[in-house]
Amino acid sequence: MSNGHVKTFFAILAALACLNFIFIAKLENTPCKETPKLRRFPSLDALNITHTNVPKKETPKGVPKKETPKKKPKYLEVISGSHYFKLLNNDSIFVKTGDISDMWIRDSTAQVWPLRSHASLIEKVLNMQSFFILQDPYANSYRDHKVKSSTLSDLRLGRKGWVATRNYELDSGCYFIRLLHYAWSHNNLEIDKYKTTVELLIDTWIIEQNHEEKSPYRYAELPRNGLGSPVTWTGLTWTGFRPSDDPHKYGYHIPSNLFAVKVLGYVLKMFPELLRVRKLREEILSGVNNYGIWKDAQNNKHYCYEVDGLGGCNKMDDANVPSLLSIPYIDPEGYDRVIWQNTYKWIWSSKNPYFYKGRFAEGIGSPHTPKGYIWPMSLVIRAIVDPSVSKEMRAKIEESKVRGKLHESFYKDDPRRLTREDFNWPNELYKELVALA
């Protein structure tokens, strides 16, 4: 088509458009060059119409009125930090740990501990925890939904149904019993419905005293085809993983066993008819005293971090609670003060392989995070267990905040270099410290 033909073609189109516009304008009795205005409907306020005088559709007499069902809130809106909470089935509250959307028994207890006087909230969290433990007492974290078809990789690691991760951690059950005891003793919670869950935990701990012979637990990432490093009978109860979710070096974690001693005392108060609990508690405490202590060159006693009953003693500490540092926090009355003081001096020094000191701060880290990274949790716990440094620790904790929050860990020379943007546990733990002031 030539240029002349193109110009003629577009001229015809323009003429047709103009004729069409004139036709519409005449129909509307509107001048051709005037743009029709959009009709605006007046507001209810302008018409002076209110909900009381708007005509309503009447329900015939004798017919019951239908009530509009209220939409259930996905997250609680009345509690500080409620975006971590999700209401399930009206009687259970799911507590996600932060930027990981799963619920840990340990973390969730720590997250609601500053809110423990809220009886209804705590009962709903306990309902959720109890439900999860009954699904699998060896799991440590759970999902907010049931997976119907797991991948082969997940099945290999025991991650099925409600279970998100199956890293068996003794302290998980301890945290559940700690929260349950508080709700019973302070909030008058009726606890009979939790007895089966407590018994399951007790029976699991008894089985794991004889891990080599009786344990059904296997985890693919542990040595010896998932059984873990060798242990022998000590009276202690075995755990596959540390509170950091890292695999153990030796199977008896001393801080968790001391925590178990404490909460078994709670069980004796809540369910005195469970006679096997007393024997279990005495055996674990005896195991700590006989196998969980080492002596330095000056014959000073210290707590081991982990032992195996075969002579192995892991001399270290990790920031995650329960830790050796946190022993007075998890059991303010029952620990040996002389042994702990010696341990405290040792772990808060360069002798501890996970103690870091930099230009900005010093503190304890974890093999869970890169070398040189300090966990704010260690600063918080130190401030709680050692009042002489509480003011200093609080100032450093405030300095370490980034975007107003504590994080999983920060680099010893620069707190802006951090891990996990959203990790709620240390922030709630810090509230405990603030409440002590």
Q: Which residues contact 406 (CB under 8 A, 6 or more apart)?
A: 376, 397, 400, 423, 426, 427, 430
Is residue 15 over pLDDT 70? no
pLDDT digits (tens, 9 = 90+) for 168-177: 999 999 999 9
Pair 307, 365 in one domain:
no
- Tell me which residue range forms the domain holding 16: 9-36
Pair 321, 280 in one domain:
yes
**Dist CA 353 CA 23 (whole Å):** 89
Q: Return the amino acid letter for 102.
A: D
CB 168 within 8 A of CB 132: no
133-171 b/e (C-beta count within 10 Å ≥ 16 → b): beebbbbbbbbeeeeeeeeeebeebbbbbbbbbbbbbbb
Dihedral of alpha carbons 108, 282, 316, 345, sign? positive
Pair 25, 166 in one domain:
no
- Give the residue with greater pLDDT, 319 vs 65: 319
Pair 283, 327 in one domain:
yes
Last residue in a domain, options 312, 337, 362: 337
pLDDT at 24 (0 to 100): 39
346 part of a folded domain: no
Q: How confident is the model at residue 210 (pLDDT cuts 50, 70, 90)?
A: very high
Q: Tell me what the mean pLDDT of segment 6-16 comes to.
A: 51
Total domain count, the chain: 3
Q: Tell me what the mean pLDDT of segment 69-82 comes to.
A: 53
Pair 103, 213 in one domain:
yes
Distances (CA, A) of 7 to 11, 14, 17, 20: 6, 11, 16, 20
pLDDT at 43 (0 to 100): 34
Q: Which of 345, 343, 356 is nearest to 409 (CA)?
A: 356
pLDDT at 149 (0 to 100): 87
383 part of a folded domain: yes
**Dist CA 48 CA 392 (whole Å):** 64
Pair 321, 390 in one domain:
no
Is residue 108 over pLDDT 70? yes
Pair 165, 276 in one domain:
yes
29 part of a folded domain: yes
Average pLDDT along the chain: 87
Q: Tell me what the mean pLDDT of segment 274-280 comes to.
A: 97
Is residue 272 over pLDDT 50? yes
110 part of a folded domain: yes
Is residue 360 over pLDDT 80? yes
Is residue 36 over pLDDT 80? no
Pair 224, 99 in one domain:
yes
pLDDT at 83 (0 to 100): 86
pLDDT digits (tens, 9 = 90+) for 383-422: 999 999 999 999 999 999 999 999 999 999 999 999 999 9
Pair 139, 102 in one domain:
yes
Pair 18, 146 in one domain:
no
Q: How confident is the model at residue 29 (pLDDT cuts 50, 70, 90)?
A: very low
Q: Judging by beta carbons within 10 Å of its beta carbon (0-12, 13-18, 19+), is residue 390 exposed, middle or buried?
A: middle
pLDDT at 41 (0 to 100): 30
Last residue in a domain, options 337, 366, 390: 337
- Give φ, ψ of 374 to 5 degrees: -95, 140
